[in-house]
Structure 1
Amino acid sequence: MKNEFPDYYYAQDGTRIFYLTNFKREELALDEEVIVFNYGLVCNRSHFTPQEKYFDDLGYKILIHDYRAHYSSSGQDQIESCTFKNITSDLKGVLDILTITKPIMIGHSMGVNVTLEFAKNYPNAIYKSILISGTVLPPQDIMFDSNVVDVASPFLQKFAKTRPRIFEFIWKNSYKNPIARKIVLDGGFNTKKVEDSFVQVYMKKISELPKDIFFHLLEQMKEHDIISSLENILTPTLIIGGDSDKVIPNYLQRILHQYLPNSKLYILKDGSHVPQIDFPELTNSRIEAFIKRA
């Protein structure tokens, strides 16, 4: 973004939450809309780079934040506290100190869970939401349209516990391996639209996170009982998915659309699990139209 103003919010338990805006507090008008980005499982703000630039250039106010135990926020030594309830409580605290009353939340993948949890817990504190490639069903049961993650996860966790040095070496250095990067690129992105350099940055950022965070948050998603609350979430919502998403099958977006009463559905042809990176122009224009709609 052209201008960035970083700061910290301290949660009640002392956890330091990093956030930054493209505006100073005194520049925010009463009831002005602010776009808030909620990234996915072991993801980072780079998954919204085209959206940041597009809406920053249009003059929108933007808020970016790191979840507890992620990147510039603290809590890496207390991963168990990184729950959707706590994440949304942290975010509510940030919104309150900035006096943001009309947040437009854009969540991708696990960020959809964060956004929905926020809408459930603070229904009067969210203005609109955009949900990209999310799932309200346990990811272990549906990722890659099979239960392969559910089957493999216990073995990976056992390996991480019995061979911690080897696992940590892999966690910290897999971004250097072109074969590992190609597997990630083929599995999660449109290979005709996304380059290896993007995946390398993404995987390098993963290496900065605590090595146990993936398993912890995967379990949080598995236990996230949000589907029973969808019919009570009345936030105006745009649901976006890619019809070639290999990670989260496309029917999950239709389930969201079916149960969220005030929602619209937009499916991008040839879009992967990260359609906002595959086709940023189409995604941005659709989000902008949704935001401007009364």
Structure 2
Amino acid sequence: MKNEYPDYFYSEDGTRIFYLTNFKKEELNEDEVVIVFNYGLVCNRKHFSPQEEYFDNLGYKILIHDYRAHYSSSGQDQIESCTFKNITKDLKGILTLLDIKNPIMIGHSMGVNVTLEYCKNYPQDVYKAVVISGTVLPPQDIMFDSNIVDVASPFIKSFAKDNPKVFEFIWKNSYKNPIARKIVLDGGFNTKKVEDSFVQIYMKKISELPKDIFFHLLDQMKEHDIISSLENINTPTLIIGGDSDKVIPNYLQRILHQYLPSSKLYILKDGSHVPQIDFPELTNKRIETFIKRT
């Protein structure tokens, strides 16, 4: 973004939450909308880089934050506190501190869980929501349209427990392996639109996270009971998905559309699990139209 103002918010339990804005607090007009980005499971702000640039250039106020136990926030030694309830409480604290009254929540993948949890807990405090490639069903049951994750997870956890140094090495260095990067690229992105360099940066950022965070948050998603609250979430919501999403099957977006009463559905042809990176121009224009629509 052209201007960036980093700062910290301290939660009730003392966790330091990093956030970044493209505006100073005194520059925020009363009732002005602010776009808030919620990234996915072991993801980072780069998954919204085209959206950051686009809406920053249009003059929108933007807030980016790191979840507890992620990157520039603290809590890496207490990952059990990294729950959707706590993440949304942290975010509520930041918005209150900055006097943001009309946030537009944009969540991708696990960030959809964060966004919907916020809409459930603070229904009067969200102007609009955009949810991209998310699932309200346990990801272990539906990822890659099978239960392979549920079957494989116990074996991987057991390996990590019995071979901590080996697992740590793999976690920290997999981004250097072109075969590993190709597997991630083929599985999660449109290979005609996204380059290896993006995946390498993405995987390198993963190596900065605690090695146990992936399975912890995967369990949090499995236990998340948000599906029972969808019909009570009346926040105007734009649901975006890619019709070639291999990670989260496309029917999950239709389930969201069916149960969220004030939702619109937008499916991108040839879009992967990260359609906002595959087709940033189309995604940005659709989000802009949704934001402007009264």
How does the TM-score come out when normalised to structure 2? 1.00
Cα distance in 1 for partners of 2:239, 2:2 equals 28
The equivalent residue for 2:159 is 159
Cα distance in 2 for partners of 1:160, 1:134 equals 27
Q: Equivalent residues in 2 for 1:231-242 (5 A)?
A: 231-242=231-242
How far has the Cα of 1:91 moved from its partner? 0.1
What is the SS of the residue equivalent to 1:172? helix
The equivalent residue for 1:279 is 279
Cα distance in 2 for partners of 1:200, 1:126 equals 34
User: Does 2:75 match 1:86?
Assistant: no
Matched length? 294
What is the SS of the residue equivalent to 1:75? coil
Deviations 1:6-41 (A, max 9, x none): 000000000000000000000000000000000000
The equivalent residue for 2:109 is 109
Cα distance in 2 for partners of 1:4, 1:156 equals 39
How far has the Cα of 1:292 moved from its partner? 0.2
How far has the Cα of 1:159 moved from its partner? 0.6
The equivalent residue for 1:139 is 139
Deviations 1:172-208 (A, max 9, x none): 0000000000000000000000000000000000000
Indicate the percent of aligned positions where both proteins have the same amino acid.
86
Which structure 1 segments of 5+ residues have no match? none
User: Does 2:165 match 1:148?
Assistant: no
The equivalent residue for 1:33 is 33
Which structure 2 segments of 5+ residues have no match? none
Deviations 1:30-69 (A, max 9, x none): 0000000000000000000000000000000000000000
The equivalent residue for 1:266 is 266
User: Does 2:56 match 1:56?
Assistant: yes
Cα distance in 1 for partners of 2:210, 2:199 equals 19
Cα distance in 1 for partners of 2:114, 2:160 equals 27
The equivalent residue for 1:97 is 97
Deviations 1:90-118 (A, max 9, x none): 00000000000000000000000000000
RMSD between aligned residues = 0.2
How far has the Cα of 1:148 moved from its partner? 0.1
One-letter amino acid matched to 1:40: G
How does the TM-score come out when normalised to structure 1? 1.00
How far has the Cα of 1:251 moved from its partner? 0.1
Cα distance in 2 for partners of 1:134, 1:190 equals 17
One-letter amino acid matched to 1:290: F
Moved over 3 A (4+): none
Cα distance in 2 for partners of 1:157, 1:120 equals 32
One-letter amino acid matched to 2:21: T
The equivalent residue for 2:125 is 125
One-letter amino acid matched to 1:38: N
How far has the Cα of 1:250 moved from its partner? 0.1
User: Does 2:199 match 1:199?
Assistant: yes
How far has the Cα of 1:144 moved from its partner? 0.1
What is the SS of the residue equivalent to 2:59? coil
How far has the Cα of 1:263 moved from its partner? 0.1
Cα distance in 2 for partners of 1:152, 1:207 equals 21
How far has the Cα of 1:236 moved from its partner? 0.2
Cα distance in 2 for partners of 1:266, 1:88 equals 26
The equivalent residue for 2:245 is 245
User: Does 2:293 match 1:293?
Assistant: yes
What is the SS of the residue equivalent to 1:105? strand
How far has the Cα of 1:75 moved from its partner? 0.1
What is the SS of the residue equivalent to 2:8? strand
Cα distance in 2 for partners of 1:8, 1:124 equals 25
